[in-house]
Structure 1
Amino acid sequence: MRPISINFHLWKPCNYHCRFCFATFRDVPGYLTFSDAKRLLSLLREAGTEKINFAGGEPTLHPYIGELVAESRRLGFVTSIVTNGARMTELLHKHASDIDWVALSVDSASEMIQKQLGRGNGDHVLRSIALFDKLHQYGIHVKLNTVVTSLNFQEDMSTFVRRVRPERWKVFQVLPVEGQNDGSVEDLLISPHQFQEFVERHQTLSDEGIRFVAETNNLMKDSYVMVNPQGQFYNNTTTGRYLYSSPILEAGVNVALAQVGWNVETFLGRGGIYSWK
């Protein structure tokens, strides 16, 4: 199967310091130039990729995010940005017509818990609500991303979710990755049973028109096609560390992807394909 949907982690800088972040890229120096990033997008499109998800770090802080989103639109991608909202308002002013989906990351309806997790300085929830409203006004499809940890697995976020009205809500069991979040994630880890508690508390939201998608650690591993800031495929395999391919611009998409692998069945099993158009 061709890599139909790809997460392109543009670079590692971020304005927040989420303790559970599994995309810190401590071992990845630098990022692609604007020219090379455009070449990479062209190769991915030629290889059959339909949807490109720009992530980070924080992608809205990337110096060329607007231009890359516009180039992706020109190439025919379905475009998506996974963001904490840092500079989303500025990006919308210039490039709203180039953006199909925005996934906002909010892990708790409590400002205190968000701050304890390292996401924001005590105003992240309020800022996110305002941004969800703005995205709805622009007619952009919205997702909500939530990482479930020891600090929020007992929480009921239903009122918040109803308020922001995402089309999809993805909840992830906090994932430890050696070399990425070790040293800061350990006291946030939860058991599969605790994650399931959170999931069961919110499943009825699916009856209200919100597509609820829950991903355990097992579903996350090996089911995403991901590109790091240096333009290499990488995979969160069962080894507990990321495995990197050769640079895609040198090896080509098919050869580089084969070096790290990708479990298509797990990708399909977690609902990796949906009505994103």
Structure 2
Amino acid sequence: MWLLAELTYRCPLQCAYCSNPLDFARYRDELDTEGWRSVLRQARALGAVQLGFSGGEPLLRRDLEELVAEARTLGFYTNLITSGIGLDHDRLGALRAAGLDHVQISFQADDSIASDAIAGSARFGHKRAMAEAIRAHGYPMVFNVVLHRHNLDRIDAILQLAWDLGADHVELANTQYHGWALRNRAAL
């Protein structure tokens, strides 16, 4: 019933817990727009009703709005699973116009110091602003955090941040030890 469409392995973050393949840089030949349209049609014909656009970072795809529109035409309930990097008010509006139903935004921790260290770049402020923008655009929002030794002791504060941002749901995800996460297991 649920199709998880990993549109790309590309991502602007460098989270140690990422499940992307170690050699993801060699995966340059992503499915093009027509290839993904075909996948969506096939999944719908098989009975899938919900669709998650994921990655890497799906916002790096220039055709994301086209794919969301195709999914809407096919009758999918759509969810964007994102770090929020590459998102702004204009893009949220374009995704809304294309028919996007729901957004899941990932955080690494509850404050900029821990979050930026885990993500490998200073992005916490942007993520927080985009979570607020997601709510302002009227999207239901899932607040997601992958758990590991660098944030396990912060769950109370992480939940408070989710509350403060008006999250509809919270997903505390376990690290999945494959790809980069397997390589970094000792650190996690």
> Aligned residue for 2:16?
19
Q: Which AA in structure 2 matches 1:26?
A: D
What does the per-residue CA deviation read over 1:189-213, in whole Å, with 9 as the maximum and x for residues that have no partner?
xxxxxxxxxxxxxxxxxxxxxxxxx
- Contact 2:134 2:141 (C-alpha < 8 Å) held by counterparts: yes
- Contact 2:175 2:181 (C-alpha < 8 Å) held by counterparts: no
What does the per-residue CA deviation read over 1:93-138, in whole Å, with 9 as the maximum and x for residues that have no partner?
3221311110000121121211221x252341x2222212211121
- Contact 2:145 2:172 (C-alpha < 8 Å) held by counterparts: yes
Q: Which AA in structure 2 matches 1:64?
A: D
Partner Cα distance (2:71, 2:177) in 1: 31
Q: How many residues align?
A: 182
Matched, 1:151 2:150: yes
- Contact 1:24 1:57 (C-alpha < 8 Å) held by counterparts: no
Alignment of 1:140-179 (within 5 A): 140-155=139-154, 156=156, 157-177=158-178, 179=179
Question: Deviation at 1:186?
Answer: 2.4
Partner Cα distance (2:32, 2:149) in 1: 39
Normalising by the residue count of structure 1, what TM-score does the alignment of the two structures yield? 0.62
Cα 1:171–1:10 change in 2 (3 A) is same
**Larger radius of gyration, structure 1 or 2?**
1
Matched, 1:55 2:54: yes
Partner Cα distance (2:112, 2:104) in 1: 19
- Contact 1:38 1:71 (C-alpha < 8 Å) held by counterparts: yes
- Contact 2:16 2:180 (C-alpha < 8 Å) held by counterparts: no
> Aligned residue for 2:182?
182
Cα 1:164–1:36 change in 2 (3 A) is same
Partner Cα distance (2:33, 2:75) in 1: 18
Partner Cα distance (1:105, 1:183) in 2: 21
Structure 1 residue runs of 4 or more that deviate by more than 4 Å after TM superposition: none
> Aligned residue for 1:74?
73
Where structure 2 has 5 or more consecutive residues not aligned to the other structure, the ranges are: none
Partner Cα distance (1:101, 1:40) in 2: 20
Q: Which AA in structure 2 matches 1:6?
A: L
Partner Cα distance (1:181, 1:187) in 2: 9
What SS does structure 2 have at the residue aligned with 1:186? coil
> Aligned residue for 1:109?
110
Q: Which AA in structure 2 matches 1:173?
A: N
Matched, 1:31 2:25: no
- Contact 2:108 2:146 (C-alpha < 8 Å) held by counterparts: yes
Q: Which AA in structure 2 matches 1:101?
A: H
- Contact 2:85 2:127 (C-alpha < 8 Å) held by counterparts: no
Cα 1:20–1:80 change in 2 (3 A) is same
Greater shift after overlay, 70-79 or 19-28?
19-28
Partner Cα distance (1:74, 1:103) in 2: 22
What SS does structure 1 have at the residue aligned with 2:187? helix
What does the per-residue CA deviation read over 1:22-68, in whole Å, with 9 as the maximum and x for residues that have no partner?
13463673211111110110000111101100000100011211110
Matched, 1:40 2:39: yes
